[in-house]
Amino acid sequence: MLAAMSSPKVVPHVPLQKLHTAIQLNIHLNALRYANRSTFVRFASGKSVGDNRVRDQPKKKRKARIEFKQYSLKDAEQFSLCDAIRYIKAFEVGRPPTSPKYELAVKLRTVKNGPTVRNRLRLPHAVDTSIRICVICPPDSEHAEAAKKAGASVVGEDTVFDAVKAGRIEFDRCICHQDSIAKMNKAGLGRILGPRGLMPSAKFGTIVKDVAVSVKGLIGGSEYRERNGVLRMAIGQLGYTPEELQANIKTFMGEIKKDIALLSDRVNKEIHEVVLSSTNAPGFSLNGDFRSPTSPSSRDLSVI
């Protein structure tokens, strides 16, 4: 029994060729295991062990958009004008009819850095008639008298210049008579009125010859300007009938199409979507119809 316990273990004889094959297989397995780990590290972290080429490669830059992004209307829910009015009035329940305003947003397909649409128009049914107008002209002239009769709030030259420099800008629009251009430029009002969009300019038709006609056109008039591919403007009061709102929308859209046609030789602009909203209501995309088969009557929508 002691002899059996002290006898050495018998190691089975392995042929040299088989041993060599096993060693090679083990080397291949380790190499494959290392390759898999390296591949995983490369794709997970952006680099591989012992290889910095992937890390040093510059990241691909996304191609910048040259046009404003507009979503497809293929699956979008759109409404007739009467349906949109019905839903908007539900959001405005309990509010004064002259306080909330309908707003129209016209989205354009246009390039980002191209010329923009900007203009002024007089709607068939004026939205805001409380606009304050300043007229720069000689205070004792016939032009000053005509401007006051037309409804101008502030009229004069030196008194207007001093008030503006003192920070008292008590007007919403400013026009200048042709005879007062030199005096206005000498006063240096551009750095004050320019950032506010109030500086008179021949480009925007606020340097005029007949101030009375211009004042009458501004009272009840509306301005619109394209920003980020969208034109926004107050289009009516909550108490307007659907027919009155429709007349304002048609006038606004007609002016936009004229403005786009004037820019057609410089840039391509197309109307993509028209959205009606209000002061406290969300926007409703319009499909171009006045009413749908399920729309309430215009008489019912005219009741506040």
Tokens 């300019």 belong to which residue?
201
pLDDT of residue 272: 92
* CA atoms lying within 13 Å on the CB side of residue 258: 10
Categorize the per-residue pLDDT at 297 as very low, low, confident or very high, splitting at 50, 70 and 90.
Answer: confident
User: Which among 144, 148, 211 is positioned nearest to 177, based on CA atoms?
Assistant: 211
Q: What is the pTM of this model?
A: 0.62
Beginning with the edge strand found earlier in the chain, give each strand of the sheet holding 154-156 in spatial order.
154-156, 133-136, 173-177, 207-208
Closest C-alpha to 153, from 125, 168, 165? 168
As a whole number of angstroms, the distance between CA 73 and CA 247 comes to: 25
User: How confident is the model over 277-285, as a mean pLDDT?
Assistant: 92
- Residue 8 pLDDT exceeds 60: no
Nearest to 180 by CA among 142, 136, 144: 136
Q: What is the pLDDT of residue 137?
A: 92
Q: Best-predicted range by mean pLDDT among 98-102, 128-132, 166-170, 262-266?
A: 166-170
Residue 119 C-alpha from the chain's centroid: 17
Mean pLDDT of 206-230: 86
**pLDDT tens per residue across span 98-128:** 778 899 999 998 888 888 898 888 888 888 7
Single out the residue of 30, 98, 58, 83 nearest to residue 238, CA to CA.
98
155 vs 148: CA distance, rounded Å: 7
Give pLDDT, residue 42.
Answer: 47
| Distance of alpha carbon 132 from alpha carbon 164, whole angstroms | 15
Q: By C-alpha distance, which of 271, 268, 270, 301 is closest to 288?
A: 271
Quickly state the pLDDT bin for 285 (edges 50, 70, 90): very high
List pLDDT tens digits, range 29-76: 666 565 544 444 444 445 554 555 555 566 666 766 777 777 888 888
Quote the CA–CA distance of 68 and 226 in Å, as a whole number: 12
What is the predicted pLDDT for the residue at 2?
46
pLDDT value of residue 23: 66
Between 8 and 215, where is the model more confident?
215
Task: Report the pLDDT value the prediction gives residue 24, as an integer from 0 to 100.
Answer: 67
CA distance to 24, 31, 57, per residue, from 49 (Å): 24, 13, 15
Q: Which pLDDT tens digit goes with each residue over 73-88?
A: 888 899 999 999 999 9
Nearest by Cα to 230 from 279, 266, 283, 186 = 283
